[in-house]
Amino acid sequence: MRRVVVTGMGVISPVGNNVDKFWDSLKNGVCGIDYITKFDATDFKVKIAAEVKDFHPEEYMEKNEYRRMDLFAQYAVAASVEAVNQSGIVNSVDPERLGVYVGSGVGGLITFAEEQTKLLDKGPLRVSPLFVPMMIGNMASGQVAMKFNAQGVNLPVVTACATSNNALGEAYRAIKFGYADAIIAGGTEAPILPIAIAGFTNCMALTTRNDIKRASIPFDRKRDGFVMGEGAGSLVLEDYEHAKARNAKIFCEIVGYANSCDAYHITAPHPEGKGGKRVLKESLEQAGFDKDIDKLYINTHGTSTPLNDKTETLVIKGVLGEHAYKTAISSTKSMTGHMLGAAGAVEAIASIKALQYGIVPPTINYAESDPECDLNYTPNKAIKSDINIAASLSLGFGGHNACVVFRRI
* Residue span of the structural domain in which 361 resides: 255-407
Q: How far is CA 17 from CA 23, 63, 82, 257, 336, in A?
A: 10, 19, 10, 27, 12
404 forms beta bridges with: 257, 392
Instruction: Name every residue whose Cβ is closer than 8 Å to that of residue 202 and which is 6 or more positions away in sequence.
Output: none
With H, G, I as helix, E, B as strand and everything else as coil, classify residue 337.
Answer: coil
- Contact, 151 vs 98, CB < 8 A? yes
CATH classification at residue 72: 3.40.47.10
Annotated active-site residue in 161, 252, 373, 403: 161
Q: Based on the residue annotation, tell me whether 161 is a catalytic residue of this protein.
A: yes
Mean pLDDT score across all residues of the chain: 97
Q: What pLDDT, on a 0 to 100 scale, did the predictor assign at position 388?
A: 94
- Rounded CA separation 378/331 (Å): 9
Same domain, 72 and 206: yes
Question: Is it the case that residue 326 has pLDDT exceeding 80?
Answer: yes
- Put simply, whether the predicted model's pTM sits higher than 0.75 gets the answer yes
In this structure, are strands 182-189 and 98-103 parallel, antiparallel, or unpaired?
Answer: parallel
Catalytic residue among 338, 373, 400, 403: 338
Give tens-digit pLDDT for 160-189.
999 999 999 999 999 999 999 999 999 999
| Residues 10, 126 within the same domain | yes
- 63 contacts: CB under 8 Å, gap ≥ 6: none
Above 70 in pLDDT, residue 280? Answer: yes
Is 292 inside a domain boundary?
yes
Task: Provide, rounded to the nearest whole percent, the portion of the chain with pLDDT above 70.
Answer: 99
Mark whether 393 and 277 lie in a shared domain: yes
Q: What is the pLDDT of residue 290?
A: 77
Out of 195, 222, 245, a domain closes at 245
Q: Is the domain of 127 the same as that of 226?
A: yes
Domain boundary among 190, 225, 245: 245
400 is catalytic: no
Are 208 and 231 in the same domain? yes
Same domain, 169 and 280: no
Is residue 110 a contact partner of residue 190, using CB atoms and an 8 Å limit? yes
Task: Check 242, 252, 270, 301 and give the catalytic one.
Answer: 301
Residues 278 and 179 in one domain: no
In a domain, 250, yes or no: no
Residues 229 and 263 in one domain: no
- Report the C-alpha gap between 144 and 159 in whole angstroms: 20
Convert the pLDDT of each residue in 106-124 to its tens digit: 999 999 999 999 999 999 9
301 catalytic? Reply is yes
**Residue 297 shares a structural domain with residue 163:** no
Same domain, 390 and 269: yes
Residues in Cβ contact with 121 at an 8 Å cutoff, skipping those fewer than 6 apart = none
pLDDT, residue 293, reads: 64
Same domain, 41 and 130: yes
For 78, other C-beta atoms within 10 Å of its C-beta total 27
Domain count, the chain: 2
